[in-house]
Amino acid sequence: MLHPRYIVVNQESGWKIVHSGRRYPENYADKRQALCSAIALAEQAGSAGRRPQVLVRHEDGRFATVWVFGQTLHAEEDARQPWVVPRHKST
């Protein structure tokens, strides 16, 4: 079974998310915003029983996997990444 892939790419108009050959219409001002949105989309797919991945396409054409449903990649490095959105407790 293929794992759904959400790919974050840098376009002239900003950062975009591509999934199954389809570009989502939203433009993101920076990579962090695009990654947060891609991970949110992938989490929904993961909740539906799939094993999605989030990748970034670098300018040189390389792809780097930054998130996989149910796995922690490079745990020490991920803990320092700015795209991790903290969850706030309601008071």
- pLDDT at position 27 is 94
- Which segments of the chain are extended strands (E)? 5-11, 14-19, 22-23, 53-57, 63-68
Cα 64 to Cα 8: distance, rounded to the nearest angstrom = 10
At 36-75, the pLDDT tens digits run 999 999 999 888 888 999 999 998 999 999 999 988 665 4
- pLDDT at position 74 is 53
* Number of alpha helices (DSSP H) and beta strands (DSSP E) in the chain: 2, 5
Q: Is the pLDDT of residue 79 over 90?
A: no
The closest alpha carbon to 27, from 45, 3, 8, belongs to 8
The fraction of the chain above a pLDDT of 70, given in percent, is 76
Mean pLDDT over the full length of the chain: 81
Q: How distant, in Å, are the alpha carbons of 15, 54, 59, 77, 90 from that of 40? A: 16, 10, 24, 20, 20
- pLDDT at position 49 is 82
